[in-house]
Structure 1
Amino acid sequence: MKKKTYEELIKESPVTYEMYAEMVDDGNRYEISDGVLELMSPAPTPTHQSFVYELQYKLNASCRNEYIIYSAPIDVILSDTEVRQPDLIMIHRSRMDIIEKRGINGAPDLVVEISSKHSRRRDKVQKRIAYAKYGVPEYWIIDLTNFTLEQHVLEGERYELAEVYAEDETIRSQIVACASFSMNELVWSLPVHPDLLD
């Protein structure tokens, strides 16, 4: 069977994980949102990439005995027509059966998206709805424009904004109790401070 390109697949509906997995690799990153293939925003900035690394390092230091932590790119297959690539995910070791060769087959315990001006609407609206629909217990949205962390906790079928953390406030989670850090700790750990970049 001939592999299809992005241009060919966006004309089909719904797009499934199998179609997505068989498409031509053109070097871009894609997600499937409710059966629609979406091209992800431009490549992450150096600050974004450094922040993901520092956050993963911090979480590994305190949580690796309880959780497995992955950073993008990795497919999180929430359903056959909902495939996401979060910036960072955590899966409790008691649920390792959702880790498969092709990716993560089911809802992680925690999903983290680091928002940019290109992804803000997708992260705060579309992904928040999708992660709640498929039962992700906790969702963090980190905004690098003001270095805040929004903590969304699943209540029934919807997320409630539990807290917004900034500066030296210690981030705490009932779902991921081992997590304990502040936004300033992460910012001060960056190899190049964002204010020094053009």
Structure 2
Amino acid sequence: MKKKTFDEVMKESSVTYEIYANMIDDGNRYEISDGVLELMSPSPSFTHQTLCAELLFKLNSSCRDEFIIVPSPIDVILSDTEVRQPDLAMIHRSRISIISNRGINGAPDLVAEITSEHSRRRDKVKKRIVYAKYNVPEYWIIDLSNFTLEQYVLDGDRYELIEVYAGEETIHSKTVPCASFSMNEIVQSLPVQPEMLD
């Protein structure tokens, strides 16, 4: 298949994973939302990236024997016309067959998005609907504006907000029982404290 430019792909009536995977790399990151190619927001902030690294470190410390934990960018191919790149995905080792070189083929056990002012609506509304539709058992939204973790658990075909963790409260998850940390632990581990950055 001939590689296509972004402009050529945008002319397609429905963008599939195959079209997306054969785009010319223009240095941008994209997702496919119901067959529509979407440019992701500007590069993540320093705090976003370091918080993601600390979360990855914490989860690897306690969960790596049971789960494979993958940070973005990684394609989570939920269907041929729905491809997402969550900040973090966790797949139980008993489901390793959904992992391939191209990405994760199907629903991870847990996805996490670290939201900012640029991505808040997409993470809290659009992605929450999509991850529920494709049966991702648990969804975490970490909000950088107040350093909280919203924990959504699948109930039928939609998510129920189970808990909002902040400060010293220890995060507990039935989906990922090995996870045990507080938001304060994560924030205090950051190499540069957020209030020191403009």
Structure-2-length-normalised TM-score: 0.99
TM-superposition CA deviations, 1:2-53 (whole Å, max 9, x none) = 3211122122121000000000100000000000000000001110000000
Tell me what 1:147 maps to. 147
Runs of 4 or more above 2 Å deviation: none
Tell me what 2:35 maps to. 35
Tell me what 2:46 maps to. 46
Deviation larger for 8-17 or 130-139: 8-17
Tell me what 2:119 maps to. 119
TM-superposition CA deviations, 1:85-105 (whole Å, max 9, x none) = 000010000000000111100
Q: How many residues align?
A: 198
Q: Does 1:160 align with 2:178?
A: no
Letter in 1 for 2:129: I
Structure-1-length-normalised TM-score: 0.99
TM-superposition CA deviations, 1:95-149 (whole Å, max 9, x none) = 0000011110000000000001111111011110110000000000000110000
Gaps of 5+ in 1: none
Distance 2:133 2:63 in 1: 26
Distance 2:182 2:61 in 1: 14
Percent of paired sites with the same residue: 75
Letter in 2 for 1:124: K
Letter in 1 for 2:183: M
TM-superposition CA deviations, 1:124-177 (whole Å, max 9, x none) = 111101100000000000001100000000000000000000000100001100
Tell me what 2:83 maps to. 83
Letter in 1 for 2:38: E
